[in-house]
Amino acid sequence: QFICCCLQPKAAASAAEQLRSCSIWQSQLCESHLAQCVTDEQLDEVYRDFRARAGKKNYLDFEDFRALYSGSRFEHDVSDQLAVFRALADSERLTLAGYVRLCQLSQSAGSGPDPERLRVLFSVMDEDQSGTISEDEFCRFLANFVDDETTMQNFFARADEDKSKLIYFHEFANFCRKHRRAFRLMCAYVFPQLVELMLHLVMLRVQLLLLLLLLLLLCLRFQLCVSLGLRRSDAELRMLALRQLQLAGGRAQAWRVRLHREAASEAERSLLCRRLHPGHVTRFAPEAARSPPVAAILQDELRLLVDGPVVTFAGATDSCWGG
């Protein structure tokens, strides 16, 4: 009844609260410290993922369970997957509570060996369910992620503390505590990495909010840069115009000296001198300091003065200008 109630669309928001308070959760999970590792938001995401995978069946069968390993980096043995499934399933059916438990077990093993994971790992290695792990069973399991046979034999020798050629549960637990890297490899092989399923949508929402905030900051920065850039461009343009005016004065004088010396007639000399009169240039200075378009006109006027070679003559005086 609980599962049917949870699978109603309106129950998604309160799935975590119902799951934590149900008898299935209390009986299977509260005895383990893993029950404290999952937040309500993560439980809601697990619930939605379970609904998507289970469909109308309201449970996962073995084929659905095997699909959870599709992204694994290991080549899994079907018997190992079946052992994990039977350790978590109820009558060949993996219900919502079992799926939550699997998600908890699949979380990072960085916290160290815990009874829940150790029990499932031990049951997977104990193929004949004799309560002990033989050397053949231990090496066959390690062969899924360890290539060196000598390394496997050394691991078995370290785990077999009493040298009985059998590994008991307490010996296996001690081995996992001493060899954390081997324990993490065992967990990575046995448990599908479902922690991403638990955190994916929650993290996606957080990342989306951060992305929107970043875009907003980039837009504000762009607007600020554009504003500062325009102001800086106006200031630079004004400084350039004033500097060109200063340079143009000396160049215009050189041109006047040249034209005064080379003009063919007095009328031509007078016309050219009026064209290059300093007032014709400097009259744009006040407007250029206020208006970029006028500054552009000023630059065009200055180009008329500086195009071509500039010739200077020794002894040129103001008398050449005719006052």
């980039």: which residue's tokens? 218
Rounded distance between C-alpha atoms, residue 102 and residue 13, angstroms:
21
Rounded distance between C-alpha atoms, residue 3 and residue 19, angstroms:
9
The parent domain of residue 251 ranges over: 198-321
Number of domains in the chain: 2
Tell which wins on pLDDT, 211 or 238: 211
Question: Are residues 161 and 20 located together in one domain of the fold?
Answer: yes
Question: Are residues 85 and 116 located together in one domain of the fold?
Answer: yes
Question: Are residues 51 and 132 located together in one domain of the fold?
Answer: yes
90-112 tens-digit pLDDT:
778 888 888 878 877 776 555 56
Q: Hey, what are 56's tokens?
A: 């109308």
Question: Are residues 109 and 205 located together in one domain of the fold?
Answer: no
Residue 150 has pLDDT above 50, yes or no: yes
Q: Hey, what are 90's tokens?
A: 């109820």
Tell which wins on pLDDT, 42 or 49: 49
134 by DSSP, 3-state: which?
Answer: strand
Question: Are residues 26 and 76 located together in one domain of the fold?
Answer: yes
Question: Are residues 202 and 308 located together in one domain of the fold?
Answer: yes
pLDDT for 120: 86
Per-residue pLDDT band for 23 (boundaries 50, 70, 90) equals very low
pLDDT for 315: 40
Residue 252 has pLDDT above 50, yes or no: yes
Rounded distance between C-alpha atoms, residue 115 and residue 105, angstroms:
11
CATH number at residue 71: 1.10.238.10
Choosing from 178, 197, 216, the residue where a domain stops is 197
Question: Are residues 140 and 56 located together in one domain of the fold?
Answer: yes
Highest-pLDDT range among 100-114, 165-179, 220-234, 247-261: 165-179
Question: Are residues 182 and 271 located together in one domain of the fold?
Answer: no
Rounded distance between C-alpha atoms, residue 290 and residue 237, angstroms:
10
Question: Are residues 162 and 249 located together in one domain of the fold?
Answer: no
Percent of the chain with pLDDT over 90: 2
Q: Hey, what are 74's tokens?
A: 């290991």
Choosing from 169, 197, 225, the residue where a domain stops is 197
Residue 183 has pLDDT above 80, yes or no: yes
Percent of the chain with pLDDT over 70: 50
Choosing from 138, 168, 197, the residue where a domain stops is 197
Question: Are residues 308 and 222 located together in one domain of the fold?
Answer: yes
Per-residue pLDDT band for 258 (boundaries 50, 70, 90) equals low
Find how far residue 91's CA is from the centre of its chain: 42
- Note whether 82 and 74 are within 8 A (CB): no
Question: Are residues 239 and 192 located together in one domain of the fold?
Answer: no
Q: What is the mean pLDDT of residues 17-37?
A: 45
pLDDT for 74: 74
Q: Is the pTM of this model over 0.85?
A: no
Residue 33 has pLDDT above 70, yes or no: no
Question: Are residues 151 and 203 located together in one domain of the fold?
Answer: no
